[in-house]
Amino acid sequence: MEIPTKLPFSKRRLRPRVVISYVFDYVIIIVCAIGFSILNKVEPFHQHFSLNNISIQYPYAVHERIPMVYALCISAVFPVVLIILYTLVIDGLFSHNKPQDVSSGKRRVRGPHRWKDRLWELNCGILGLLLAQGLAFFITQALKTACGKPRPDLIDRCQPRAGSKDLFPGLSNSTICTGDPALLTDGFRSWPSASFAGLVYTSLWLGGKLHIMDNRGEAWKALLVMVPLLAASLVAVSRIMDARHHPFDVITGSMLGVACGFVAYRQYFPPLSEPWRKGRAYPIRTWGSDPVGPDAVRLTSIKGDSSTALHNAEEEPMGQGMPSSEQARPDASTYLHASNSYVSDDFNRRSHDQDADGGVWSSSEDDVTNGYQMRQGHTMGQNPGAGNHAPQYDPSHAYVSQTQSLAANAEIHIPDPMAYFVNGYLKANQLTPPYILVLFIVSVVAVFWAIDTLIRFTTTKRSAIFVAFVDLIFFGAFIASVYQLRFIANADCASWNGGTVWISLGPFGYYGQRTENPLSLHINKTCAMLKASFALGIMETAFFFWTALIALFMHRSYTPTVVKETTTVRRRSHSSRRGHGSGSHSRHRSSSRRPAPYVV
């Protein structure tokens, strides 16, 4: 098989390693699809179950509210159609800076993006969607096969033989079932569910295209971005209504889908917290090279609703084409850490207004020209071009200090009470009650989330909205857990045994009358641990509520710096008239101001 040397929509020759790097992406998706098909034919693990367990005695729904075919259309076909329609038709249609055609002089109705840019955006958009779906389906199918948790309608699928009873002590197993083997096999694939990844990716993709975090507060954008999430939630709820999944299965499956969608989106698109990139896909990558440093990444001129792609220094060094008179830039280490920092190059930039393509594109490396340079070591409140005359950023208002307080005040989790119950039921060879299992797993996941937040607290300034979103998920999960344990709130876990009171004095004997039935306090350990778990859930609910509010406040207070560059060029012209022995000189000054692009 011959490796192509260029893309069909680009004139730039590609290195074989670049093509191979994208081949790996498609190979991963194909492997996930093949793995899902293989796991779907593997007999899952069959957990033991109790015939008296009412949580698995729901009737089998012959006709689902949302059949699997419709669910796949909602989570896969709809996003593909949306990506194709937006990328090829809508993108750039409402741009305020449409370029003029060189031949006719008219503005392009379809916007500033060329066809090769649209095709590249389409490729990255669909590739990310397939990656999100492939990862989610493969991971959930592997967990279903390994766990073998009974579905809520397992008893109806099983059709136990007449007179079947649970072992004492012990539970029943699938050998007592007389139902359809195919239905019975699928009946042990309850946890987790898979219906969120594709639509979560669609929401992220749509949020990037609408640059929802541009601090303009346009509610209609947020409404459009929430539509795919609402569709995913309705599909997940329908699985509970049809008794295909337990609520806990849907919650954990949704969290897994959010993770897969987020990971897939970030492989090909910039974060939503950087709206100045307009949600444009990353350019053609370079494979097998060293990581690009902060000074080797550039962003070209931004015009209207479009921006050019980030550029890799391996393909075109930044020093190429610089005049010898250029002054050395200050070292990036002299500035404090921040993001969204753009510094205009000191050397002259080529104007794109005369280009046949309008001068605005976003997909190919060969079109990147000299422009703005992104420096990760630049302070939010400081302009590097102004030197020491610019106001310094006040550390007391920095995001880092607020992040430290967020991580230190709220991310505290103690799963020990729930671990006591889980271990106890495992030793007794019994299924752990859902109200214990939900609280236990949510607390364990919260522990890892707390550790991750503590480790990365200095780099979360641009993802505060994501931190708030996850904290709100934990907030809702702990509310559900507390609601499940509400019966223990008024329980009496201690009782006194009557008898004569006596006090042991050690080697000096005892004080009082000693009898065979002394006064003692009897504590029901199970009841006490349930109360401790109930109190822990209430504290976790309050903690995550406040951490979500703090993260939202941080996101609201974090505003990217807009640096506007204006270059003034003064020219001096001379004119003279000669008369009879006298001369007069007049000087005329004219100034021309060339507008420079700026960050919107």
Taking 70 as the threshold, does the pLDDT of residue 10 lie above it? no
pLDDT in the model for residue 45 = 94
- Residue 270 confidence class, pLDDT cut points 50, 70, 90: very high
What's the rounded mean pLDDT across residues 107-127? 80
Distance, CA of 302 to CA of 415 (rounded, Å) = 50
Distance, CA of 142 to CA of 125 (rounded, Å) = 26
Question: Beta strand 302-303 with 372-374: parallel, antiparallel or unpaired?
Answer: unpaired
State which amino acid sits at residue 398. A
- Residue 502 confidence class, pLDDT cut points 50, 70, 90: low
pLDDT in the model for residue 321 = 40
User: Which of 23-27, 232-236, 248-252, 399-403 has the lowest average pLDDT?
Assistant: 399-403
Taking 50 as the threshold, does the pLDDT of residue 139 lie above it? yes
Taking 50 as the threshold, does the pLDDT of residue 233 lie above it? yes
| 478 burial via Cβ count (<10 Å: 0-12, 13-18, 19+) | buried
- Residue 411 confidence class, pLDDT cut points 50, 70, 90: very low
pTM of the predicted protein model: 0.52
pLDDT in the model for residue 407 = 38
pLDDT in the model for residue 213 = 87
Instruction: For residue 387, give the 3-state DSSP assignment.
Output: helix
The residues, ordered by sequence, that sit 6+ positions from 497 with a Cβ below 8 Å of its Cβ are: 517, 518, 519, 520, 521, 522
Decide which of 8 and 351 is more confident. 8
Token pair 């680009």 is at which residue? 10
What's the rounded mean pLDDT across residues 100-128? 76
Around 360, how many Cα atoms within 13 Å sit in the side-chain half-sphere? 25
What's the rounded mean pLDDT across residues 66-74? 92
> In this predicted model, what pLDDT tens digit does every residue of 450-475 receive, in sequence order?
666 666 655 555 677 777 788 788 78
Residues 262, 265, 268, 269, Cα dihedral to 10°: -100
Token pair 């958009």 is at which residue? 125
* Average confidence score pLDDT of the chain: 70
Phi, psi (rounded to 5 degrees) for 552: -65, -40
Phi, psi (rounded to 5 degrees) for 510: -145, 165
> In this predicted model, what pLDDT tens digit does every residue of 352-373 receive, in sequence order?
344 444 444 444 444 333 333 3
Question: What are 306's strand-pairing partners?
Answer: 303
Taking 90 as the threshold, does the pLDDT of residue 535 lie above it? no
pLDDT in the model for residue 531 = 77
Taking 70 as the threshold, does the pLDDT of residue 414 lie above it? no
pLDDT in the model for residue 231 = 94
Distance, CA of 428 to CA of 142 (rounded, Å) = 27
Distance, CA of 153 to CA of 240 (rounded, Å) = 11
User: Which of 171-180, 410-419, 553-562 has the lowest average pLDDT?
Assistant: 410-419
> In this predicted model, what pLDDT tens digit does every residue of 421-441 receive, in sequence order?
666 665 555 555 666 666 667
What's the rounded mean pLDDT across residues 554-575? 55
List the one residue out of 193, 170, 173, 195 whose CA is nearest residue 184: 173
pLDDT in the model for residue 284 = 81
